[in-house]
Amino acid sequence: MSELRGLQLRIDGFRELGAEVMAVVIDPVEENRKVVERLGLDYPILADPDGRAIRAFGLLHAGANPMVEGADMARPATYVFADGRARWRDITENYRVRPGADQVLEAVREAVADAS
Amino acid sequence: MNQARTRWNWPVLLGPLLALVGFASYFTLFYWWPVVRDVPWLNYALLVLALALSVRGLQHALGRGALRVSAAVLGTLFSFGVSALFLWYVTAYSRNLPDAASGLPLGAPVPAVTLQDHQGEPVDLRAIDGPLVLVFYRGFW
């Protein structure tokens, strides 16, 4: 979850490029509201409790949820879309290791340049 | 000589304590900063220091009675155990993920999914104008 705070610190940079930032998680709406408040996020967290989006993105880590025995969760991943197409992605092989906000910002900058 | 015998062998206690701190501080504190999260070098440093203290305490305890030696051996084993557990978590356990090949490929369109945001409002991913950054994370814990 620490990547959410990192992205918040660069939110002005994303906005300058006209980009929207959104997070997706299996947690329910109520839990996400608390996280948005706790971390002071200016971007939304989308609730995907039945894993529809997570499955559509092929990011399901089946049975890995530590809070609910046997429940699924997402593997950490970041996608950048521009002109409706996936332009950049990071799917980590180690869930502790995730791209920094500057790296994502650079990816958006390049995607915007490529798409235009 | 007598004075040296009665002096407390602090490293015997400090070593295991520092090992605990070196382990727990990753999850409670350093996990929040990518610079010490992706490669947990600060925790490695703390654990190496903990091991050094434990070994030093063991050296001090040698020849000063079975009780002191046992305590020092236990403390050293504890420090090594905690360090091994951390190393296992960092290098093996956190790599326990499914094959990344199933991930949505580059060039693919935004999947047609509508989800509720944190205020309960529906968000259609395809209806978003302009570039979109989507971050999938594991959960609130």
Nearest by CB to residue A46, choosing from B32, B115, B141, is: B115
Which residues in A53-74 are b (16+ Cβ under 10 Å) and which e?
bbbbbbbbbeebbeeeeeebbb
Reply yes or no on whether the pLDDT at A115 is more than 80. no
What are the pLDDT digits (tens) for B89-140? 999 988 888 887 889 999 999 999 999 999 999 999 999 988 999 999 988 7
Check A7 against B133: CB less than 8 A apart.
Answer: yes
pLDDT at residue number B126:
93
Average pLDDT of chain A?
91
pLDDT at residue number A69:
74
First-last CA distance in chain B:
53
Is the separation of the CB atoms in B138 and A83 below 8 Å? Answer: no
User: Which of A91, A98, A108 to mutate to test binding with chain B, by most B CBs within 10 Å of its CB?
Assistant: A91
What are the pLDDT digits (tens) for B65-87? 999 999 999 999 999 999 999 99
What are the pLDDT digits (tens) for A57-111? 999 888 777 777 777 888 999 999 999 999 999 998 888 888 989 999 999 999 9
User: Which of B137, B140, B141 to mutate to test binding with chain A, by most A CBs within 10 Å of its CB?
Assistant: B137
Residue type, B112: A
Q: How confident is the model at residue B1 (pLDDT cuts 50, 70, 90)?
A: very low
Contacts of A42 in chain B (CB under 8 A): none
pLDDT at residue number B96:
84
Residue type, B74: L
Determine the residue of chain B that is closest to A47 in CA distance.
B116
Which two three-digit tokens encode residue A68? 């609910």
Average pLDDT of chain B?
91
Check B110 against A4: CB less than 8 A apart.
Answer: no
Determine the residue of chain B that is closest to A19 in CA distance.
B131
Eight-class DSSP state of B110: P
First-last CA distance in chain A:
32
pLDDT at residue number B47:
97
Q: Is B116 left (phi over 0), alpha (psi -120 to 50) or beta?
A: beta
pLDDT at residue number B141:
65
Q: In angstroms, what CA-CA distances link B31 with A7, B115, B119, B122? A: 15, 28, 28, 32
**Which one has a higher pLDDT value, B4 or A74?**
A74
Which two three-digit tokens encode residue A20? 């929207």
Burial of residue B102, with CB atoms counted within 10 A of its CB: 0-12 exposed, 13-18 middle, 19 or more buried: middle
Which residues have CB under 8 Å from A87's CB, separation 6+?
A: A80, A81, A107, A110, A111, A114, A115, B106
| DSSP string for residues in A11-69 | HHHHHHTT-EEEEEESS-HHHHHHHHHHHT-SS-EEE-TT-HHHHHTT-EETT--SSST
**Which one has a higher pLDDT value, B63 or A46?**
A46
Q: Which of B139, B111, B118, B39 is nearest to A3 (CA)?
A: B139
Residue A52 β-bridge partners: none
Determine the residue of chain A that is closest to B33 in CA distance.
A2
- Going from N- to C-terminal start, the domains of chain B cover 3-96
